[in-house]
């Protein structure tokens, strides 16, 4: 046996309440439409009266490594394209750099400057919300290389395109000038260092040359004094030898006088002096003993003695004297010292001079023009936007319409619940 399903009483009343509520709201549609119209009108008025906000952007990418070769090949300054890009981005974020830019171009903020307001105050308000600097990481995006995106949000009446493009050029030029100034400072420091090194080497060379000259002169002086001492001792020796010879001659002359030897003779001849000689005879005497000096005879001995007494110098009797005189004459002028003193271009004799001159020539030849290299590549310059980013008209009007409908419905429900007669009439 089938029994009809029982419908819960609460569900029936709930369905009836919803239906009645809809009917009641329909009766109050004028109120709902009124609030919807008012809210939509307010939204439309806001859209029409609100000042449009625009936004422009420029993209900056690193340059190729070849573009920085002229800068890096100097050997003093090294910068990679990614490092140059980060420097540009850091400079764009700098408050001081932005303020300097607007002080250089005050006309760009003139539309926002109120009467009696300083440029710094106007810039402070504009800078707090206008600028955005974002770094594009290729690992997190679809980009194949790093990039920096500079954006500026500005109200109508302000030339945002000029701000972005001129500010980008200003930052790039400022960073290039910093790089050129850093390079010039490095060149000046290296040049000064090389010149100090050259001066130091010259001083060391002068000291070494003076020391060499003093050493040579001292060596010559020592040799000269040694030779002079030797010459003096040798002359004394010759003089003493001559005096001894004179004494020997005196003794020999005395013996010759006693023996009556006037002319040179031999011991055997002297022994046979009393015998008669017949015919011509040549006598030869062989003896391994030295014949005494007095056998030279009185005449020869006195002649030799007189000669020795009248002699003024004994130098010619010794060959060593001539050698000493020759060596002393050579020591009068030291040619090596003379050549050291007569050097006209002493830098040629400096050790390491060629390396220092090469370095100085390289440093003086470095003349980097900031227009000859690029730090970054401006991939996309800012262009005039097609439409404002604020206010979003369709979204605001749609939100106003929906808000008005909800507000009208809520008010209608409140009226129905507050006035039972309105609910009964429905």
Q: What is the pLDDT of residues 319-369, one digit of tens each?
A: 999 999 999 998 888 888 888 888 888 777 777 777 888 888 877 877 777
Distance of alpha carbon 277 from alpha carbon 424, whole angstroms: 209
Give yes or no for residue 12 having a pLDDT over 50: no
- State yes or no: pLDDT of 239 exceeds 60: yes
Tell me the CATH number for domain 52-184+374-420: 3.30.1890.10
pLDDT at 166 over 90: yes
Given pLDDT bands bounded at 50, 70 and 90, which one contains residue 16? very low
Instruction: Check residue 170 and give its pLDDT.
Output: 93
Contacts of 167-170 with C-beta under 8 Å, sequence gap 24+, read 167/92, 167/98, 167/101, 168/58, 168/60, 168/92, 168/378, 168/381, 168/382, 170/97, 170/101, 170/104
* This prediction's pTM: 0.61
Across the strands, what pairs with 195?
none
Query: What pLDDT score does 25 carry?
Result: 66
Does 15 score more than 90 pLDDT? no
Could you read off the pLDDT of 43-99 as tens digits, one per residue?
A: 777 666 666 778 898 999 988 887 787 777 777 778 888 888 899 999 999 999 999
Identify the pLDDT of residue 143. 56
Look at the chain and count its residues.
426
Q: Give the model's pLDDT for residue 1.
A: 43
Among the ranges given (103-107, 124-128, 341-345, 415-419), the one the predictor scored with the smallest mean pLDDT:
415-419
Question: What is the rounded CA–CA span in Å between residue 378 and residue 63?
Answer: 9
Quote the Cα angle for 357-363-368, to 5°. 155
Segments making up each domain of the chain, as ranges = 52-184+374-420, 205-269+289-351
Structure tokens, 327: 């060596």
DSSP structure string for 87-99: HHHHHHH-HHHHH
CATH architecture of 205-269+289-351: Orthogonal Bundle (1.10)
Residue 370 has pLDDT above 90, yes or no: no
Residues 179-233 pLDDT 10s: 888 888 888 888 888 888 888 888 888 888 899 999 999 999 999 999 999 999 9
3-state secondary structure of 254: helix
């Amino acid at each position: 046996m089938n029994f009809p399903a029982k419908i819960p009483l609460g569900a029936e009343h709930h369905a009836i309440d919803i239906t009645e509520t809809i009917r009641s709201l329909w009766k109050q549609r004028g109120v709902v439409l009124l609030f919807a119209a008012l809210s939509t009108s307010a939204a439309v008025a806001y859209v029409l009266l609100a000042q449009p906000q625009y936004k422009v952007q420029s993209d900056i990418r690193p340059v190729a490594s070849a573009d920085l070769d002229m800068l890096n090949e100097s050997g003093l300054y090294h910068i990679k394209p990614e490092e140059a890009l980060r420097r540009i981005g850091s400079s764009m974020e700098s408050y001081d750099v932005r303020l300097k830019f607007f002080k250089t171009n005050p006309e760009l903020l003139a539309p926002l400057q109120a009467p009696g307001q300083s440029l710094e105050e106007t810039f402070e308000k504009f800078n707090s919300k206008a600028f955005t600097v974002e770094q594009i990481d290729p690992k997190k995006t679809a980009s194949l290389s790093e990039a920096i995106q500079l954006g500026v949000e500005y109200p109508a009446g302000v030339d945002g395109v000029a701000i972005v493009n001129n500010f980008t050029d200003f930052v790039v030029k400022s960073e290039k000038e910093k790089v050129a100034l850093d390079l010039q400072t490095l060149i000046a420091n290296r040049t000064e260092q090389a010149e100090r090194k050259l001066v130091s080497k010259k001083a060391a060379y002068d000291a070494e040359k003076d020391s060499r000259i003093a050493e040579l002169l001292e060596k010559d002086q020592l040799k000269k004094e040694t030779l002079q001492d030797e010459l003096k001792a040798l002359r004394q020796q010759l003089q003493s030898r001559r005096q001894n010879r004179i004494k020997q001659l005196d003794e020999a002359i005395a013996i010759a006088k006693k023996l009556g030897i006037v002319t040179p003779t031999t011991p055997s001849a002297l022994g046979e002096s009393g015998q008669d000689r017949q015919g011509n005879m040549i006598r030869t005497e062989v003896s391994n003993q030295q014949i005494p000096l007095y056998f030279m005879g009185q005449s020869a001995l006195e002649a030799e003695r007189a000669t020795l007494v009248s002699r003024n110098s004994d130098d010619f009797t010794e060959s060593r004297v001539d050698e000493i005189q020759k060596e002393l004459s050579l020591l009068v002028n030291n040619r090596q010292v003379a050549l050291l003193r007569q050097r006209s271009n002493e830098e040629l004799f400096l050790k390491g001079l060629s390396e220092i001159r090469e370095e100085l020539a390289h440093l003086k030849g470095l003349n980097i023009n900031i227009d000859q290299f690029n730090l970054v590549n401006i991939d996309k310059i800012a262009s005039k936007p097609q439409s404002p980013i604020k206010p979003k008209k369709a979204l605001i009007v749609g939100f106003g319409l929906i808000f008005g409908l909800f507000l009208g419905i809520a008010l209608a429900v409140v009226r129905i619940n507050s006035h039972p007669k309105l609910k009964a009439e429905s």
